[in-house]
Amino acid sequence: MASIHPTAIVDPSARLGDGVEVGAYSIVESDVEIGAGTVLRPHAIVRQYTTMGTGNTVDSHAVLGGLPQDYKFDADSKTYLQIGNDNIFREGVTVSRATGEGKVTVVGNGTYFMAGSHAGHNAVVGDRVILVNSAAGAGHSEIGPGAIFSAFSAVHQFCWVGQMVMVQATAIITMHVPPYVIVAAPVNSVAGLNSVGLRRAQHINDEDRKQIKEAFRLTYRSGLTPAKALEEMDACTDWGEAADTFRRFVRRVIEAEPPNKRGLCPMRSRAL
């Protein structure tokens, strides 16, 4: 049974799982589903057409499922925010529902949105992503599993950031970023591989790391165009899943059509 503070406002149509806690002055709108064990701190807001899994924590003044910040949005359309399990949304976080009839903004499992961070309409935020204070993913952006966005960093609309990418503080991304790399400030600057993250990842072994390094070398240190680098990668038929994830990402970028035709984020100049 859910526990609802007397000052909270919960629409009768909202579906609350066992053990849900709704704190003082919180608001849960119509057509909302909140999974078991989720906690809404005082003044948290969950807006219409939001679905949440189990074990989530929503801190004060966070707004989940707010209207998309899009001039074209039709207020009469049904669009959605879908959130998985075990996520943390700290103070002042905003995650918008989608724009476009029937479209969905997606947040995976085990993410950590720190204070003031944001995910825009139609964004896809993968499992275990961390958005540090005031980091942001724009509308239609994609952030892969395990990526970490340091404070005040951001990714532009229609851009993709691969899994286990580490984004340094204040860095701005307006192109596609392949998996396993570090992005440096100020803009579109791949600094190298996320070597520490790769060593710590239990699902990536020594052979995987060797193959990822080769994929990175072909893409960024061989002097080849992305298309030629991909041809060389395709010749490596013995690669495992980890390196193949890098290869598939490069292929997706090369084959992308507008508005996703953003190009591959370049290597940082050696002069920096």
**pLDDT higher than threshold 70 for residue 270:** no
What average pLDDT does the chain have?
96
In 3D space, the residue among 153, 108, 158, 104 whose CA is nearest the CA of residue 133 turns out to be: 153
Query: In which band, very low, low, confident or very high, does the pLDDT at 152 lie, cut at 50, 70 and 90?
Result: very high
Mean pLDDT of 88-108: 98
Q: Do the Cβ atoms of 140 and 124 come closer than 8 Å?
A: no
Task: Check whether 27 has a pLDDT greater than 90.
Answer: yes
List of domains in the chain: 3-140 (2.160.10.10), 203-255 (1.20.1180)
Q: Which residues sit opposite 10 in a β-bridge?
A: 28
Residue percentage of the chain with pLDDT more than 70: 99
pLDDT at 272: 42
Tell me the pLDDT tens digit for each residue of 182-218: 999 999 999 999 999 999 999 999 999 999 999 999 9
The model's pTM is: 0.94
DSSP string, the chain: --EE-TT-EE-TT-EE-TT-EE-TT-EE-SS-EE-TT-EE-TT-EE-TTEEE-SS-EE-TT-EEEEPPS-TT--TTS--EEEE-SS-EE-TT-EEEPPSSTT-EEEE-SS-EE-TT-EE-TT-EE-TT-EE-TT-EE-TT-EE-TT-EE-TT-EE-TT-EE-TT-EE-TT-EE-SBB-TTEEE-SSBS-EEEE-HHHHHH-TT--HHHHHHHHHHHHHHHTS---HHHHHHHHHT-TT--HHHHHHHHHHHHHHH--TTS---BPPBPPTT-
